[in-house]
Structure 1
Amino acid sequence: MSHHHLTREDRESIVVGLRVGLSLSEMAKHLGRHRSILSREVHRNGGPSGYSGVKAQNRYQAVRQGCRRSLKVADPAIKEALRLGMERHWPRNR
């Protein structure tokens, strides 16, 4: 079973599976995922009757983009303190 994030295609398959009445276990087996992953995905994004693969994918991408944003610090003293602290904890030459 895969331990990677659900793809757009996975989410489209979930939409189709829900429409035709497949159980989460059947869909999970088809996708090679654990049933609990699909259960959390469906309930987090509208439940069995309101699940939208497009909205779920957009939400996932928005969260991922939020994780990648860099920290903007205007005060040079704070910026330098952060840089030094990061270098102390995560030196570049490991």
Structure 2
Amino acid sequence: MWPDESVTTGLGIAEGIETALSLAWAYAPVWACIDAGNLKALPVLPGIESLVIGADNDPAGIDGAHACAQRWAADGVEVHMTKQTENDLNDVLKEVA
């Protein structure tokens, strides 16, 4: 959603575009990984000091987000992950809008 050159020291990621757009209300730049498998496999990027993961609340989303978070944290990156009772951030924001 943001070009590579916009990513300097922090990045937000999510599975789908809807969740990524919802995350972008509070954090930018944000990338959509398209699915849980891509989120899970996202390599640690040099120079990124902080990663925010908009995690979907389903088995694949939780697994992908946790695997990504663990890998990035093990490399010294500060990692934050959303937690919501709904499936994703977009569902939460639609309820409060």
The normalised TM-score by structure 2 is: 0.29
Instruction: Please identify the structure whose Cα radius of gyration is greater.
Output: 1
Of Structure 1 and Structure 2, the greater helix share is in 1
Of Structure 1 and Structure 2, the greater strand share is in 2
The normalised TM-score by structure 1 is: 0.29
Q: Relative contact order, CA 8 A, sep 6+: which one is greater?
A: 2
